[in-house]
Amino acid sequence: MKRLFWLGVGVIAGVALTRKAGETVRQATPAGLASNLGDAVRELAGAVGSFGAEVRAGMSEREQELHDMVEERTGYIAPQGGAGRHAAAAARRPVRRARRAEG
């Protein structure tokens, strides 16, 4: 009975090690490396995207704080355009119309 138990333990250990070795070999192939690299790039892209979203949220929050501070100190109520002075400058520029080709 004791031998049968150790035989079972050996078979289970052999199967587990064989599967682990097979997975390691698969990851070392070019397809496995490409898969790992693709996963890493997707994870990095997600991290960069969430970082950008957090930066934009922080910028909006800080812009609101500055608007409030200017209003409090000067009494001037600045327009809330969302894009700040760039939107106001773009609104003041004359509209250029494309010339049509005369033929």
Is 0.75 surpassed by the pTM of this model?
A: no
pLDDT recorded at residue 65: 94
Structure tokens at 89: 């400058």
In the chain, % of residues over pLDDT 90: 52
Q: What is the pLDDT of residues 33-63, one digit of tens each?
A: 888 889 999 999 999 999 999 999 999 999 9
Residues 79 and 66: their CA atoms lie apart, in Å, by 12
DSSP string over 68-96: HHHHHHH-------SSTHHHHHHHHSPPP
- Is 60 exceeded by the pLDDT of residue 85? no
